[in-house]
Amino acid sequence: MASAPAAIAVSRSTGRGAASVPATSRERFRGDVLAGLALPSRAIPSVWFYDAWGSRLFERIMRLPAYYPTRVETGLLERHSDAVVARLLGGPSSVVDLGAGDGTKTKLVMAAARRRAPTAAYVPVDVSATALEAAAEHLRTTWPGLEVRPVHGDYVEGLAQASRTSGHAPLLALLLGSNIGNLEWTAAVALLRSLRQALRLGDHLLVGFDLLKSEEVLRGAYDDPDGVTAAFNLNLLSRVNHELGGDFDLSAFEHRATFDAGRPAMESWLVSRRRQVVTVADQRFEFREGEAIQTEISWKYTDGQIAALAREAGFEEVERFHDGRRWFAEALWRVGPEAA
């Protein structure tokens, strides 16, 4: 798991319950599920974990002792946000939060931004209206009078809109939580290129990366002994049942976490315990015993891979910040003359 894609937007945030999901989101959910279940290797995008109950379960996961990403990244931002903002000449005109969540980690960066540029605006971007409202309210409460310009949409369209309205000073976009790790390499490069094209010369992007570490540590974070992660994964099937008229028997599937050293990445699966037939939106899907649905990938990057991503996406890397154990990294990238 990252610390938590519409199209290519990634959001691990507060919930999207059935009653609050816009028709376009429901249609996208239906399309993604039906298309994913029809694949030879079945898969459902991890963005759909986050209905209201899924979001509450993830909040529990973030409090588990073995789930390190949120704590480690928060510590990094506490220590280095001032250094990040100092690299933007004159300070940022706005801070654009891609996949806003509730704004907790963003608040650390925003505080540093306001110390350098007191008029900096906050632009949360999220496909979840609920998450967007929570992020905006969180920061408005912290700083009454703060200019907040929420954008309900995916990352690229939200960033493009923020670029058009951000003034002359460079803006700082945030892609935190190692959310980029939920995408395969080619898709991650495509997203980053699109973000770079939405930015202007001199704008910056801060990207969080979960780094490769021991398999023991990774497995502990993705398959806790209390079964919270298993419940979080299985809730995806419950959401399909509730919103798409599915008839998944949750007891007939089990959570499994695996490590692929080749990427390297953790993967989450829902594995059929027996031969069965499942109906979703009036379509039938046959499962063999042991057949699995991939529900998430989470890349664990090396420093060399981070540098390669920056190059392939057309960014200049400005600086990279690590925690003491080198479990996580924040990479600050800039749109330079060649990229622009």
pLDDT at 64: 95
Digit-by-digit pLDDT tens for the chain (340 residues) are: 654 433 333 333 322 233 334 456 788 899 999 999 999 999 999 989 988 899 889 989 999 999 999 999 999 999 999 999 999 988 889 999 998 666 778 999 999 999 999 999 999 988 777 778 888 888 999 999 999 999 887 889 889 988 888 877 899 999 999 999 999 999 999 999 999 999 999 999 999 999 999 999 999 999 999 999 999 999 999 999 999 999 999 999 999 999 999 999 999 999 999 999 999 999 999 999 999 999 999 999 999 999 999 999 999 999 999 999 999 999 999 998 875 5
Between the CA atoms of 173, 176, 182 and 184, what dihedral angle is there, to the nearest 10 degrees?
Answer: 50
Q: Which residue bears the tokens 């798409």?
A: 244
Contacts 24+ apart (CB under 8 A), 314-318: 314/193, 314/196, 314/338, 314/339, 315/192, 315/196, 315/205, 315/339, 318/87, 318/204
The burial class, CB within 10 Å (0-12 / 13-18 / 19+), for 324 is: exposed
Token pair recorded at residue 234: 């299985």
pLDDT at 6: 33
CA-based nearest residue to 234, from 220, 223, 218:
223
2.60.120.260, 3.40.50.150, 1.10.10.10, 3.40.50.720: CATH of 1-245+303-340 = 3.40.50.150
Do 312 and 189 form a contact (C-beta atoms < 8 A)? yes
Do 7 and 127 form a contact (C-beta atoms < 8 A)? no
CA atoms of 27 and 178, how far apart (whole Å): 27
pLDDT at 337: 86
Q: Which residue bears the tokens 């990244």?
A: 73
